[in-house]
Copies of this chain bind each other. A is one copy, B any other.
Amino acid sequence: MTDAQRSGCPINLSLEVLGDKWSLLIIRDMMFGNRRHFRELLTKSEEGISSNILADRLKTLLEQGIITREDDPTHKQKGIYSLTEQGIELLPVLAQMAAWGYKYLPVTEELGIRARLLSEGGPKMWAEFMDELRESHLGAKRRRRGGPSVGERLQAAYESVVNGN
């Protein structure tokens, strides 16, 4: 990992960290799929990342302070990966990217439903979801709201499509 530093432009610096085909997918799976272990990220993703790439990206994301790793008390070899606040704040980036992809690219119905809901929900829903992530990844206390969480609503919508309404 050599720090290139091509320029001090915020977009360029972001791309130097996240500008590849896998890093944001890992973040996506941690956010929306609740994948927290190496094996979950490796096998339960749509795209099929290979283990060496996954190991390399997790290392980079750790170094960049986007995720953290702690030992799983139930298994000496397992690690639990969590998003940091910095990582959680990538949600708006992913949400905008998902909205753009949903609008212009050949998205399948099952995998597009989350993007549609998140786009329709707008920044207010994003903020609510980020609060939920702060609870599950940072252990932060969250002001409870009535009804199902954003995460639950997204998951329910996905399953609804898969099971044919």
Residue of B nearest to A98 (CB): B10
Whether A54 is near chain B, meaning CB under 8 Å from some CB there, is: no
The docked-state distance in angstroms from the alpha carbon of A111 to that of B11 is 9
The size class of the interface chain A forms with chain B is 35 or more
Bits for A75-97, please: 1 = Cβ < 8 Å to B, else 0: 00000000000100110111111
Q: Judge if A121 is at the interface, Cβ distance under 8 Å.
A: no
Distance of A102 from chain B, by nearest CB (Å): 4
Cβ-defined contact, B102 with A10, below 8 A: yes
Q: How many copies does the complex hold?
A: 2
Q: Which single residue of chain B is at the shortest CB-CB distance from A107?
A: B10
List the one stretch of A15-23, A55-63, A130-138, A147-155 in contact with chain B. Answer: A15-23
State the CA gap A90–B11 with chains docked (Å).
Answer: 13
Q: How many angstroms between the C-alpha atoms of A140 and B89 in the bound complex? A: 35
Check B19 against A20 for contact (C-beta < 8 Å): yes
A70 within 8 A of B: no
> Is A13 part of the binding interface, using a Cβ–Cβ cutoff of 8 Å?
yes
CA distance A123 to B123 in the complex (A): 10
With a cutoff of 8 Å between Cβ atoms, the chain B residues found around residue A12 in the complex are 25, 46-47, 101
Cα separation A112 to B10 with both chains bound (whole Å): 6
The 6 closest A-B pairs by CB, nearest first: A8-B108, A10-B101, A7-B46, A14-B101, A13-B105, A6-B47
